[in-house]
C-alpha cells in the first residue's frame, strides 16, 4: 500500500517526541510517532502479527491523528496516513469494536438516531439526575461516570436541524449562495452556535442551503472503516457539490477538512472523485469565509463588555486546512474583546472526535494540561472552531471547576453585529 511507503522516509530523528501529545503524557517511546512507525514497520516485515500481538494495535489506535508530528518532521513523514493504513488492515482482521458499531455505524451513520439520543440527553439533564451524580456521596465511586457526564453541555437544546429551514434567504439580494454543512456534533450539541452563525451569515447577504446530509465520514475514516466512509461520501456528494453553489461552509473544522478531501473519501481513482475534485476548493471554514469573502466591517460592530479571549487551534483547522489567522482576526475586530494567546495554543486538546470516550485516561490528562494553559492565560472566554474540541475543552473546564464560556469566533462576531435576518 502506498501509505506504507511513508515508513521508509522516517529517519528516526525523534523530533516528533517534543510535539506528540501522547508521548508528552506517557514518556513512552511506543506512544510517539517514531515508536508507532517502528511498530508498523515490524508488522510489515512480518516480525509481529496483528493476531498474536494485539498490544501493537492498541498503540496504533492511541494516536490522536493530530498531525503535529507531520508538520514538525524534517522529512514531512505522513504519520497519520501510516496509522490510518494500519487501522484499516487491523479492522479487516478484528472487525469493528462494540463502541464503533454502536457510536459510528449505529448513531453517526444515521442522523435520526443521533437526534433521538439527544432527546434522552436532555431528559437526563432536566430530571435532576445530574445533580445527584455530582453529589459528594457518590463522587468517589462514580468518577468515571462523572468523567463521561462532563462532556454533556449545560442547557442542551433540541437539534439544530429541527430549528432551521432547509433554505434561509437574506432580505435583500444574495451576495453568495452556499451550502451550510450541518455536522453531527454541531447539530446535536451546538444548536445555539449554529443558529447564531446562520443568522449572521444571512444578515451579511449569504443565501444558505442546509440539506439533510449524513455524517461527513471522518470518524469512520479514523477507525479504518473505509466501506462506510465511501457510503457516506456517496450520499453527501450529490447534496452539496453542485455547480450553482459558490461555497460549501461549516462551523466544524473537522467536517471542513473532510469535505475538502472528499475525492479521497470516495476513492481517488473513481469517476465520482474526478467529478468532485474541481469543486473541492469551494469548501470553506466559516472563519475564512467571513474574513476573506465577507469582510469584518469593524466600524459597524457594537462594543461588547470588556473580555479577554484566548483561542484554541483545532488540529483539523490548523494542520489540516492551514487556518490560523482568520479566527484571531475576527476576535481582534470585535470592540471590547482582547485576544490573549495561551501557551501551546496549537497543541491537541485530546478530543480527536470520540478519543475522549475511547481513551479516557490519556485524553483526560491531555485536556487537563490544556486547561492549565487556558487558566494561565487569564482569559475570561475560550474561543474554539470545532465542536469536538468545544465538547472536550468544555468537559475539561467543568472537571477543573472553571466556569468559562466556550464560543465559536463567529459567534462572538455575531453578538456584536447589527441585528440581521432571523431564522
Tens-digit pLDDT profile for residues 333-344 = 999 999 999 999
Cβ burial of 227 (10 Å; 0-12, 13-18, 19+) is: exposed
Does residue 37 lie in a domain region?
yes
* Cell numbers for 83: 496509522
The domain that contains 367 carries what CATH number?
3.40.50
pLDDT of residue 113: 81
Q: Where does a domain end: 33, 66, 94?
A: 94
Q: β-pairing, 247-250 with 176-180?
A: parallel
Q: Where does a domain end: 49, 64, 94?
A: 94
Report the interhelical angle of 79-94 vs 33-44 (nearest 10°): 50
Does residue 199 lie in a domain region?
no
Q: What is the pLDDT along the chain (423 residues), one digit of tens a residue?
A: 456 778 888 888 888 999 999 999 999 998 899 999 999 988 888 887 777 777 888 888 899 999 999 999 999 899 999 999 889 888 888 888 887 887 788 877 887 887 777 777 787 667 766 666 655 555 555 666 777 888 788 888 889 888 999 999 998 899 999 999 999 999 989 999 999 999 999 999 999 999 999 999 999 998 889 899 999 999 999 999 998 999 999 999 999 999 999 999 988 788 888 899 999 999 999 999 999 999 998 889 999 999 999 999 999 999 999 999 999 999 999 999 999 999 999 999 998 878 888 888 898 999 999 999 999 999 999 999 999 999 999 999 998 989 899 999 999 999 999 864 333
Going from the C-alpha of 33 to that of each of 62, 67, 234, 366, the distances in angstroms are 11, 10, 32, 16
pLDDT of residue 422: 39
Report the interhelical angle of 54-61 vs 33-44 (nearest 10°): 140
Distance CA 57, CA 40 (A): 9
Does residue 128 lie in a domain region?
no
pLDDT of residue 99: 78
Task: Using a cut of 0.85, tell me whether the model's pTM lies above it.
Answer: no
* Residue range of the domain that includes 88: 2-94
pLDDT of residue 132: 61
Going from the C-alpha of 147 to that of each of 57, 103, 120, 205, 294, the distances in angstroms are 25, 18, 18, 42, 40
Q: What is the 3-state secondary structure (H, E, C) of 171-204?
A: CCCCCEEEEECCCHHHHHHCHHHHHHHHHHHHHC
DSSP secondary structure string for all residues of 345-375: TTS--S-TTTHHHHSHHHHHHHHHHHHHHHH
Does residue 74 lie in a domain region?
yes
Does residue 252 lie in a domain region?
no
pLDDT of residue 179: 96
pLDDT of residue 338: 97
Does residue 29 lie in a domain region?
yes
Does residue 126 lie in a domain region?
no
State phi, psi for 311 to the nearest 5 degrees: -120, 135
* Cell numbers for 292: 476573506
Among the listed residues 329, 330, 317, the one whose alpha carbon sits nearest the alpha carbon of residue 387? 317
pLDDT of residue 296: 92
DSSP secondary structure string for all residues of 294-332: I---GGGPPPPPPEEEEEE--HIIIIIH---HHHHHHHH
Looking up cell 517526541, which residue turns up? 17
Looking up cell 455575531, which residue turns up? 414
pLDDT digits (tens, 9 = 90+) for 265-322: 988 788 888 899 999 999 999 999 999 999 998 889 999 999 999 999 999 999 999 9
Does residue 329 lie in a domain region?
yes
The domain that contains 18 carries what CATH number?
1.10.1060.10
Q: Do residues 379 and 373 lie in contact, with contact meaning Cβ atoms separated by under 8 Å?
A: no
Q: What is the tally of structural domains in the chain?
A: 2
Q: Where does a domain end: 94, 115, 144?
A: 94
3-state DSSP assignment of residue 406 = strand
Distance CA 277, CA 154 (A): 40
- Contacting residues for 5 by C-beta, under 8 A, at least 6 apart: none
Among the listed residues 383, 350, 363, the one whose alpha carbon sits nearest the alpha carbon of residue 147? 363
Q: Which residues of 412-423 are buried (b: 16+ CB within 10 A; e: fewer)?
A: bbbbbbeebbee
Amino acid at each position: 500500500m502506498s501509505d506504507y511507503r511513508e515508513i521508509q522516509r522516517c529517519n528516526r530523528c525523534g523530533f516528533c517526541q517534543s510535539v506528540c501529545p501522547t508521548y508528552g503524557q506517557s514518556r513512552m517511546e511506543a506512544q510517539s510517532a517514531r515508536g508507532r512507525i517502528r511498530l508498523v514497520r515490524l508488522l510489515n516485515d512480518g516480525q509481529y502479527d496483528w493476531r498474536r500481538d494485539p498490544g501493537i494495535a492498541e498503540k496504533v489506535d492511541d494516536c490522536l491523528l493530530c498531525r503535529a508530528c507531520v508538520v514538525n518532521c524534517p522529512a514531512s513523514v505522513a504519520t497519520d496516513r501510516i496509522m490510518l493504513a494500519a487501522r484499516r488492515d487491523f479492522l479487516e482482521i478484528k472487525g469493528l469494536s462494540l463502541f464503533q458499531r454502536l457510536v459510528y455505524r449505529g448513531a453517526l451513520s444515521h442522523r435520526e438516531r443521533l437526534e433521538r439520543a439527544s432527546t434522552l440527553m436532555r431528559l437526563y439533564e432536566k430530571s435532576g439526575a445530574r445533580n445527584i451524580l455530582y453529589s459528594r456521596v457518590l463522587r468517589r465511586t462514580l468518577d468515571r461516570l462523572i468523567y463521561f457526564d462532563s462532556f454533556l453541555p449545560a442547557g442542551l437544546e433540541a437539534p439544530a436541524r429541527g430549528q432551521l429551514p432547509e433554505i434561509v434567504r437574506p432580505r435583500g439580494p444574495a451576495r453568495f449562495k452556499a451550502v451550510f454543512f450541518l455536522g453531527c456534533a454541531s447539530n446535536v450539541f451546538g444548536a445555539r452556535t449554529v443558529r447564531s452563525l446562520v443568522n449572521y451569515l444571512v444578515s451579511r447577504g449569504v443565501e444558505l442551503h442546509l440539506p439533510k446530509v449524513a455524517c461527513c465520514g471522518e470518524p469512520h475514516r479514523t477507525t479504518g472503516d473505509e466501506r462506510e466512509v465511501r457510503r457516506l461520501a456517496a450520499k453527501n456528494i450529490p447534496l452539496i457539490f453542485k455547480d450553482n453553489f459558490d461555497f460549501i461552509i461549516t462551523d466544524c473544522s473537522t467536517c471542513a477538512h473532510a469535505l475538502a478531501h472528499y475525492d479521497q473519501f470516495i476513492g481517488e481513482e473513481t469517476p465520482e472523485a474526478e467529478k468532485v475534485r474541481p469543486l473541492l476548493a469551494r469548501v470553506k471554514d466559516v472563519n475564512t469565509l467571513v474574513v476573506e469573502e465577507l469582510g469584518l466591517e469593524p466600524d459597524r460592530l457594537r462594543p461588547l463588555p470588556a473580555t479577554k479571549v484566548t483561542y484554541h487551534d483545532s488540529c483539523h483547522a490548523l494542520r489540516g486546512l492551514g487556518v490560523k489567522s482568520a479566527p484571531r482576526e475576527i476576535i481582534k475586530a470585535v470592540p471590547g474583546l482582547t485576544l490573549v494567546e495561551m501557551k501551546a495554543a496549537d497543541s491537541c486538546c485530546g478530543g480527536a472526535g470520540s478519543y475522549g470516550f475511547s481513551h479516557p485516561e490519556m485524553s483526560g490528562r491531555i485536556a487537563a494540561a490544556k486547561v492549565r494553559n487556558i487558566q494561565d492565560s487569564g482569559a475570561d472566554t475560550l474561543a474554539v472552531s470545532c465542536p469536538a474540541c468545544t465538547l472536550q475543552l468544555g468537559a475539561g473546564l467543568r472537571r477543573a471547576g472553571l466556569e468559562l464560556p466556550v464560543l465559536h469566533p463567529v459567534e462572538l462576531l455575531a453578538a456584536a453585529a447589527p441585528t440581521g435576518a432571523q431564522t
